Amino acid sequence: MNRKKKIIKILLAVNAVLLCCVFLLLTGIIRDIPNGMTEAVRDALGRDVELVNRENGIYTYKTAVSVPTEGSVSFQAIDDEGLRTNYTQQMFRYIGEAYFQADEIYWEGAEVWGLPAWKLTVVYPAQAGQSIQDFCEYIGEFADLCMKSDAFTRNGHMVNAFPAIRIQLEESGSVWEFSYNCYSYPGYTREAFEEELYDFVSKKAAETDPEVLASRIEKEHLEWLEKSRRYIEEHLDDYLSREADMVFELEDGREYRMIVTDYIMGDCFYILLGVEADGTDVFLLNPDPFNQDMGYVQWMIFVDEELGFACLSGDALESGDLYRTVDGGESFENIEWPQVEGTMEDGTVIYPFDFAEELYEKDGKLYLIVNQGITKSYQNQAGISPKALFVSEDRGESWSFVEEIA
């Protein structure tokens, strides 16, 4: 009996020792969990972090940052289904608040993996008088700051795409969400980002308020004209040395020269220069004579130093538009002539005369010959593809049909 009691006492003692060991072991493991989590976060982000708080399985860390300004960012981490952090979302907000003015943006709380996240809305225009182009460049600079931070790019490789942002039109309050696909060709580049954003904002603004968009586009065009004028005037000698695409010489020897400055999809963009009779004194008349239209100048004529005309066609030569200036080339206006019917053999009525071929002056009146372009789809009863003759008695401002000619 005494022996059994001794064995029981020994077993109880051993059990107590084992329980103490288990307790001490568990205490050590629990104590090491934060340290292990911190090491995992540090390795995942590749940066020093400091544990600030741990509550309900969520760890809050702080880390020093230098983009775009020196400071620190707090973020959270969990390890329920693998390590997850909201460092990217918190860094996105940190850069946004440092970059934008308070009245240009607002934030809305969201959630990613059960951790706090943010949705950014930017007001357009963000600043007074800001054009669509300027706005897109402004957002593009912000996107570039984000994408160059380690929240989005590490060791030269993108680790997170730029988040979708919402744009609120100031006038109407309409809100649109813009999402740039960093994973499609050509990947993320600031230039591609700004181009895609410009197309997006322009389209949405037109759908919302066409008048507002038209006004802004006109303003941007005027600003672009001024910049182009300054650049061209600083490089006049270079443009003077280029071969002109079309030249008209006045009686006093002065020349008007159409100079090609750019090609896009086979069409040309022109400027109009004036060159004095000495051939060296050059001046810019118009940095955009065809009001952003492109094509090929087929001919140019000046009735006097102020009144002039030019024909601009597409490379397919299907039509040729008539342009008129009354201020010596400083501005041009697209002039239309009356539509003249032509009846096909099957009775179909068409309007075939759409290519301004020639303009001349006779007996104080202006005459315009208009052909059918390259198609020549209409033939008269004589089996000839005719042209149309028009006359103007108001210096080319309006035209009246005279007759069909061969």
Range name among 302-311, 315-324, 375-384 with the lowest pLDDT average: 375-384
42-67 residue pLDDT tens: 999 999 999 999 999 999 999 999 88
Mean pLDDT of 20-38: 54
Question: Rounded mean pLDDT of 351-367?
Answer: 95
pLDDT single digits (tens) 225-283: 899 999 999 999 999 999 999 999 999 999 999 999 998 877 899 999 999 998 889 99
3-state SS string over the chain? CHHHHHHHHHHHHHHHHHHHHHHHHHHHHHHHHHHHHHHHHHHHHCCCCEEEEEECCEEEEEEEECCCCCEEEEEEEECCCCCEECHHHHHHHHHHHHHCCHHHEEEEEEEECCEEEEEEEEEECCCCCCCHHHHHHHHHHHHHHHHHCCCCEECCEECCCCCCEEEEECCCCCEEEECCCCCCCCCCCHHHHHHHHHHHHHHHHHHHCHHHHHHHHHHHHHHHHHHHHHHHHHCHHHHHCCCCCEEEECCCCCEEEEEEEEEECCEEEEEEEEECCCCCCEEEEECCCCCCCCEEEEEEEECCCCCEEEEEECCCCCCEEEEEECCCCCCCEEECCCCCCEECCCCCEECCCCEEEEEEEECCEEEEEEECCCCCCCCCCCCCCCEEEEEECCCCCCCEEEEEEC
- 104: confidence class by pLDDT, cuts 50, 70, 90: very high
- What pLDDT digit, counting tens, does each position of 176-210 carry? 999 998 887 778 899 999 999 998 998 888 787 77
Domain limits, the chain: 54-214, 235-314, 336-406
Compute the mean pLDDT over every residue in the chain, rounded to the nearest whole number: 88
Name the percent of the chain lying above pLDDT 90.
Answer: 66
